[in-house]
Structure 1
Amino acid sequence: MDAGTAPQTPATAGRKARPHATHLELATAPGIVSPERAWEIYRHRPQPRWWGWATSGGGRAANVEEGALYQGTTAQVCGLYPFASGSGAAPRGVPIGRHMYTAEPIGLDPGEWVTSGLISNTGVWVQGQPGIGKSTIVKRLATGLSAFGFYLAIPGDVKGEYSALVDSLGGRVWRIGRGLHSLNPLDGGPLRDALRHASGVERDRLAETLRARQISLLEALIVIVRRAGMTVTERVVLGTALDAAARQASPGEPTIPDVLRGLDDPPDDLLSVSACDTPAQFRRDQRELRNSLRLLVNGAIRGLFDRESTVHADLSTPAMSLDLSALEDDDDDVIAAAMLCSWSWSAAMIDAARSSGAHRNVVQIQDELWRALRVAPGLVERSDALTRMNRHKGVVQIQVTHSLDDLEALPTEADRAKARGMAGRNNIMILGGMPAGEMDSLGNIVNVTSRESSLVSSWAAPPTWVAGGKHPGRGRYLIKSGQRIGLPVEMTLTASELQLYNTDTAWQKKKEPR
C-alpha cells in the first residue's frame, strides 16, 4: 500500500520524502545509506494496521464492509469470472467428508434433504468398482443415521460384512443357512402380530398387504427355480391354494409344504378355479406348478425356506441384520431366493412397526443387488414390488451395486429397462471410481458433466505401477442429485472406523509372534 507521507527513520530524518515514495526507494536513493543498511531499514519498516495508514491518502478505513453476494447461472457468471465452481451443500446430516476443492464439511441425511426441499425421495444409489470403499461410506452413513435415531435394517447381507457393525451398535444378527436360522417365506412376522391387534378397515388393509406380499414372494421363488414365468391359471391356482393353507394354519403361519399338500389333494375351490372335474385331472394339469413348489422343498434350497421361521423382529434394538454369508458359495438361485425372502420379511417388519404405533425411521441397505435380479426374467419387477419403500414410510433405502453392466446383464430388455428405472428413481447417487465407459452409461440416468466424468474416471486405477501408495479412488466419492453440480467428497476414517469397516482382512499380513 502506498503512503502519502513516509514515516521518519534515522536514514531519512531531515529530508522531505517525495509523495508516494516507498521505504525501499527512500532507503536506496543515491547518497543516503549503503545497500546493506537500506535492506535493514526496509526490513524493519513500520507495518500498517489491516485497515491502512492513518495518513492522508494512506487508505485508512474505520470499517471494512463485507463483500456483496451475487448469484447467477454458470453460463452468466463464467463470462465475468471464469473460475466459478459449483456451490457446496449445507453440512446438515451425517458428516461424510470434506469437499475436495473447498474443504467445506459435507453432511448427508436423505430425510433432512427431503424436508428441506433438496430432493423428493430418500432413495440412495451407490455404485463403484470393488475395493474403492462403497460399503465404507454406506457404513458411515448408516452409523450416523443410527445415532440420529434411525433403525438400521440390513436384509440379505450376502458377505456378512455388516455383522460387525450391527454387533457394535448393540443390534441383532440372524445368520440364515442350513443348520442355522431359517426364514419362512410366508411368515408375516411382526405384520401378523399387528394384524391380530388391528380391527376394521386397518385390519383389512393389513390382511391384503400380507397376502399380496406372500403371493408375490411365492411367485418370485417359483420363477427362480423354473427360470421362467407363470401362466395366469397358475397364478390364480397358487393364490387359492395359499388362502386354503393360511386358513388351515391359523393362527399360525402357513409354509410352502402346506401349500404343496393342498395342490396334491385339491379341495373343491381349487377344482373350480382350474376348471377340473377330478383331483386326478387337476394334478395332471398343474404338475408344473406342483413340481416347482416341490423343488423349493426338496431342491437346492431344501432346509432353508420350507419350515417355520426362527427369526424374530425386535425393534427395541438399534439394528438388525439377516446374514446370508453361509450361502455365499451356493448357486445364484439360492442366493436370489434368500435375498428376496429377506427383503420381503424386512418390509413386513417395517409395515408392522408403522401400523402398531412403534414406528421409527429406518435406514435399509440392499447390497449385492445384482445377484438377486439376474437369475430369471421378471425378478426386477417382483423385487421392486416387494421392497419399494417411499418417503411417507420414513425409510431411507440404500441400494449398492458395482456397475450398470450388472443390470445390463439381466435376462430381458424389459428387465433391463426396469432396472435402469429403479436406479433412476433414487434421488441421491454416490459414485466411486469407475471407468469412463461406465460414466457414459450413467449419463443416461443422471446428468454428469465431462469434468465430473473425468474426475471419477481418474479414481479408477493408480497412475503408475509403483506399489505402496494409496489407491486414488479409496475414500473419494461424487455425490449427485438431479441436475446439480456434483459434490466431490473425500472421507477420512477414525481409528475405530478403520478397524470396524475393514473388508480386506483376508489379504492383510499377520504379524509374526515375537
Structure 2
Amino acid sequence: MPDPTMPRLGPTPPSWGWPGQGLGRAAHAACPPLYQATTVQGCGLYPFTAGSGAPAVGVPIGRHMIWGEVVALDPVDWVRANLATNPGVFVLGEPGVGKSAFSKRMAVGLAAFGTGVVVLGDLKGEYGGLVTRLGGQVVRIGWGLDRLNPLDSGALGQAVTALDGTSPERARALRAEIRSRRLDLLLALCLIARGSRGAAVTDAEELALGGALDLLARDAAQEPVIPQVMHVIETGDPEMCRAVLARSPQEYRELTDGILRTLARICQGLLQGLFDGPTTTPADLSAPAVSLDIHALDNAADDIVAAALLCTWAYGFGAIDAARAVGDTRHYLTVQDEMWRSLRAAPGLVERTDRLTRLNRQKGIGSIITTHSLSDLEALPTAEDQAKARGLVERSAITVMGALPDLELGRVHQVRSLTTREREMVASWSAPESWETDRPHPGRGKYLIKNAGRLGIPVEMHLTPGEIDLYNTDTAIRRQPVARLPV
C-alpha cells in the first residue's frame, strides 16, 4: 500500500529532483565530469554517446567545440585517406586570432611525424625561434646578411650530372625543367622591376633571356647569376642575334635595350646585394625544418619585398624538387605568408606563382597560405589576375577560418560555400562583447575547418606553456604595461 502521507510522484522527476523531505531535492546540480572513449570502451553507456566523426588523421589541432573530441589535420595524409582532393590549406582570419599559432602547431606536429617543413619567405621573422628549437636551419636574407641566387639549381644540378651516365633521357628532362624555372623567375622579376604600369616583356626580350640562359648553362662548373645574364645579352654575339631572330646588330640592340635596362635595375638597384650573386648559405633540406627569413626587408619598398618573396618561393620549391630528384621520398609542408603582397606588384605574377604550386598533390607537398582578407584579391592589378588568384583559393581544398566579420564571410562564401549557422558562428568570434580589459579576444584559438563541400568542423586550440612562449607574435606590443587612468 502506498503511503498516503507521501506526495504523488510523476513518472519523470524534475531536473533537480522531486521537492519534499527525503525525496532527493538538490539545491545545486554540479556539472558531471566529461570522459571520452571509443564505442568499444564505452559500449555499456550506449546510446548516451555522441560524436561528429571529426577526422583523427594528422596533427591534433584542438577539441571539437560541440562534441569535445580531438580534431587532427594533415593535408597530405588527408589526401591519402581520401578526405581531401589536394593538400592545400588556406588560413584566413583577423589579426591576433591565432593564424600563425595554427600554422606553427601544424609545422611542429608534422616535423615530429618526419615531414620536412620549409617556411618560404618569413617576412615578419616569426618562425626563426621555432625552427631553431626544432634543430632546423634559418637562412636570414638581407643586406649584409645571407644572399640567395634565385637561378641556383642546387642539388637538382648535381642530380643532372649524376644522371648523365645512367639515364640520359632523365638528365635532359631535368635540364629542361631547370631552364624553365630560371626563365619563369627572370620574367617575373622583370615584371616586378617594371612595376604595375610598366610594359610587358616582349617576345624578343623573352628570347634574349632564354638564349642567355642556354649559353650560360654550357658551363656546368658554376651556377649562372643575374649579372652574367645581363652581360651575355649586352655582348650580343652572333648566337644571341640568332636567338632573338635579329637581322642585324642594330636591330638586335633595338630589341634588347629594354630588357638590359630592366636587368640593370634589378642588379644595380632593386636587388643589389640580395639576389645578384652566388648563394652564400644553401638550404639544407635534411634538417627537420628550414626558414628562408626575409624580415630584414619588411620595411623595404613593396617591389623589393615582392621580388624577395618570389625568389624565396622559387628557390624553396626548387630545393624540394632537387631533393626529390636525388631520392628523397618524405613529405614536405611549405608555409607562405603575405602571398598577396607579392602578387599585386605587377600584372601576370599570379600565373607564374600558380605554376610553383600546381603540382603539389603529385609531389606530396602540403602547403599553408595565410592572409587577413580575401579583399586582397581585389587589389590585384587586373581582372584576369583576380580571377586566377581566386582559383588559388579554390584549389586549396581545406579552408581554415578564424574570427571574421560578416562582410568578409560573404566574400569567402563566393569561393567556399558556408551554411547560415557556420557564418553566424565565425562572425560571433569577431568582436568582444564588452570593453572590459585583460580579457582575451573571443576568437583567439577558434577555427572553422572547411573541407570542400562538407560541413565545417569548429575546433578550439589551447596552447601548452611552451607553445605560448614560442608562438607569441605580440611580444613587442605586450612588453610594456597597459596605461590606465588613476582611480
TM category (shorter chain) comes to 0.7 to 0.9
Q: What displacement does 1:200 show?
A: 1.8
For 1:444, what is the secondary structure of its paired residue?
Answer: helix
1:469 and 2:439 matched:
yes
Report the equivalent of 1:181.
146
Could you tell me which of 238, 243, 264 is aligned with 2:234? 264
Classify 1:369/1:22 alpha carbon distance in 2 versus 1 (closer, same or farther; 3 Å): farther
1:147-166 aligned within 5 A? 147-166=112-131
Task: Check whether the contact 1:175–1:322 (CA below 8 A) recurs between aligned residues.
Answer: yes
Tell me the residue number matched to 1:13.
none
Q: Is 1:297–1:306's contact at 8 Å kept on the other side of the alignment?
A: yes
- Is residue 2:172 matched to residue 1:204? yes
Structure 1: segments with no counterpart, 5+ residues = 1-16, 28-37, 45-62, 70-84
Aligned to 2:207: 236
Counting only pairs closer than 5 Å after superposition, residues 37-436 of structure 1 correspond to structure 2 as 42=23, 66-67=46-47, 87-198=52-163, 199-227=167-195, 228=198, 229-247=200-218, 249-436=219-406
Identity among equivalent positions (%) equals: 45
Structure 1 residues 351 and 491, CA gap change in structure 2 (3 angstroms) = same
Structure 2 counterpart of 1:214, which letter?
R
Once the two structures are TM-superposed, the CA of residue 387 in structure 1 deviates from its matched residue by 3.7
Paired residue secondary structure (1:125): strand
Return the alpha-carbon distance in structure 1 between the equivalents of residues 364 and 447 of structure 2. Answer: 25
Closer/same/farther in 2, CA of residues 42 and 203 from structure 1, 3 Å limit:
same
Q: What is the alpha-carbon root mean square deviation over aligned residues?
A: 2.3
> 1:388, CA displacement in angstroms?
3.3
- Report the 3-state secondary structure (helix = DSSP H, G, I; strand = E; otherwise coil) of the residue aligned with 1:219: helix
Q: 2-side partners of 1:169 and 1:466: how far apart?
A: 38
Runs (4+) of structure 1 moved beyond 4 Å?
38-44, 63-69
Q: CA deviation at 1:112?
A: 2.3
Which whole-Å CA distance do the structure 2 matches of 1:23 and 1:482 have between them? 64
> Structure 2: how far apart are the matches of 1:484 and 1:24?
55
Amino acid at match of 1:487: I
Q: Which residue of 2 aligns with 1:453?
A: 423
**Amino acid in the other structure paired with 1:159:** K
Residue in structure 2 matched with residue 4 of structure 1 by the alignment: none
Work out the CA distance in 2 between the residues paired with 1:254 and 1:23. Answer: 101
User: What is aligned with 1:507?
Assistant: 477
TM-score (norm 1): 0.83
Q: How has the CA–CA distance of structure 1 residues 104 and 234 changed in structure 2, closer, same or farther, with 3 Å as cutoff?
A: same
Check 1:485–1:251 CA distance in 2 against 1; reply closer, same or farther (3 A cut): same
The 2-side partners of 1:408 and 1:468 are apart by 36
Q: 1:22 to 1:98 in 2, by over 3 A?
A: farther
Task: Quote how far apart the aligned CAs of 1:117 are.
Answer: 1.1
Q: CA deviation at 1:39?
A: 5.8
In the alignment, which residue of structure 2 is the partner of 1:76? none
1:106–1:493 Cα change, 3 Å: same
Retained in 2: the 8 A contact 1:213–1:386? Answer: no
Q: Deviation at 1:428?
A: 0.4
Q: What is the distance in 2 between the residues matched to 1:335 and 1:99?
A: 38
- Asked if the contact 1:23–1:42 (Cα under 8 Å) also holds between the matched residues in 2, the reply is no
User: What SS class does the counterpart of residue 286 from structure 1 fall into?
Assistant: helix
Relative contact order higher in (CA < 8 Å, ≥ 6 apart):
2
- Whether the 8 Å contact between 1:88 and 1:99 is mirrored in structure 2 is no
Instruction: Tell me, in whole angstroms, the C-alpha distance in 2 between the residues paired with 1:123 and 1:64.
Output: 41
Aligned CA distance change for structure 1 residues 364 and 22 (closer, same or farther; 3 Å): farther
Name the CA distance, whole Å, in 2 between partners of 1:481 and 1:22: 63
The count of aligned residue pairs is: 449
- Higher alpha-carbon Rg: 1
In the alignment, the residues of structure 1 paired with residue 5 and residue 77 of structure 2 have an alpha-carbon distance, to the nearest angstrom, of 57
Residue-by-residue CA offset, 1:8-42 (whole Å, 9 max, x unaligned): xxxxxxxxx14xx7994489xxxxxxxxxx96654
